[in-house]
Structure 1
């Protein structure tokens, strides 16, 4: 009869994590002496041939003056699945199907620095990072931007206030000619002169111009045309924090 391997049982995992820390020279004899579990049982525990009870774990951690909660926390952290796609970001599974991801935060006023350094592979280290919870691993180019101004705040639920932080995914240039679909939260436009946060409500392919729209109805935020020749990057806003 084939024996069962219990290495995936939680107590067995905790026990083996502790063993890796303790580095006991003769573990069967020593653990038996400290816990009175029996050498046969200890040997089976070490080889994952028998499930480990809560009672044994309690005796074991007490005998070696270990902290069970700390072991459980370390085990959980070790078992979190991480994915690092080619974009260099690390997505860490939370255990509920969602992921956390830390992305560089670009303030609007850092436009000049961002433009000059964005092609440097190490440029992201110059910026603070901000963490978002996302539903899936993303394989595009992601940035976070700190919004300045209230041009996109018209008082509605999908509008965005001054000082908000938005997570955005770059729309690669070869897709620009396909047009720009309506987006719940709008678009980040990195231009030659500044960083803009707008809706794109029109696109003249022949002229290579887009129409930028603000959600704030105040007269100073009227629509305007922007040549794509002046635009370095376009990002679709996909998530916000306030």
Structure 2
């Protein structure tokens, strides 16, 4: 993947529309696309990105970073050891993780395609900043509805994107860490749910799910049997829309 595509992935993960990003940079949409199609970014465009997104881009140190086992260039797409998700080293102690994104209209398709590597590779991508390279399998899901919105900082609002780390199935026999990771993406045989898990009965395999929305008539607590679930993800990142 060339440098322009790397930058495009990072910008897409910012939560802003590409047209708005072009306006912020003082470019037309066509002008932005011109730069993002290049294998190597022009110096003027790099300075512009760094000026407008100083917390994300740092091109002042693009030397090769080396350790005992490998070497890679800052700003280039890499694969972490033991991790499924590629990353981009920003060179400032931060990394951009890039994960497959299941958009709201694709929920039904994911239920039938989640085990198909080709299907997963064709999904759009979501990117977000982290402070280290994470191992494991991560997926992002676009939020449908307001069941997880209660007007507080804990809200997960409709249209936001949640990223989850998959809990391998053999670990379902142990109690989920519901005090550390409260909210989950549950890939159930009848649909994808984003809920808080308030209880996990290891003996019966029953989890109690709750919505944050205070309207309990519309969003009552309910139980699910893990035998009816296909995947479980604990939510590690929420990218809210405004």
Structure 1 and Structure 2 fold alike (TM over 0.5): yes
Displacement of 1:238: 0.6
Does the aligned pair in 1 maintain the 2:187–2:193 contact within 8 Å?
yes
Which has more helix, going by share of residues? 1
What is residue 62 of structure 2 aligned with on the other side? 76
One of 174, 177, 197 as aligned partner of 1:178: 174
Displacement of 1:76: 2.5
CA distance in 1, matches of 2:46, 2:220: 59
1:144-201 Cα shifts (integer Å, max 9, x gaps): 1000011111111122101101111101112112112224561000000100011111
Q: What is the TM-score when the length of structure 1 is the normalising length?
A: 0.65
Displacement of 1:220: 1.2
Secondary structure of the corresponding residue to residue 108 of structure 2: helix
Displacement of 1:240: 1.1
Displacement of 1:87: 4.1
One of 180, 200, 203 as aligned partner of 1:203: 200
CA distance in 1, matches of 2:43, 2:137: 41
1:74-120 Cα shifts (integer Å, max 9, x gaps): 98387306343354421111112110011111124423311221212
- Aligned pair count reads 176
Whichever of the two has the greater Rg, that structure is 1
One of 114, 118, 123 as aligned partner of 2:114: 118
One of 218, 222, 225 as aligned partner of 1:224: 222
Does the aligned pair in 1 maintain the 2:146–2:213 contact within 8 Å?
yes
What is residue 239 of structure 1 aligned with on the other side? 237
Displacement of 1:125: 2.7
* Residues 1:188 and 2:174 aligned together: no
Unaligned ranges ≥5, structure 1:
1-66
Aligned-pair Cα RMSD in Å: 2.6
| 126 and 70 in structure 1: CA distance in 2 versus 1, 3 angstrom threshold | closer
* Residues 1:104 and 2:74 aligned together: no
Unaligned ranges ≥5, structure 2:
1-41, 48-58, 65-72
* Residues 1:157 and 2:143 aligned together: no
CA distance in 1, matches of 2:101, 2:116: 16
CA distance in 2, matches of 1:77, 1:71: 15
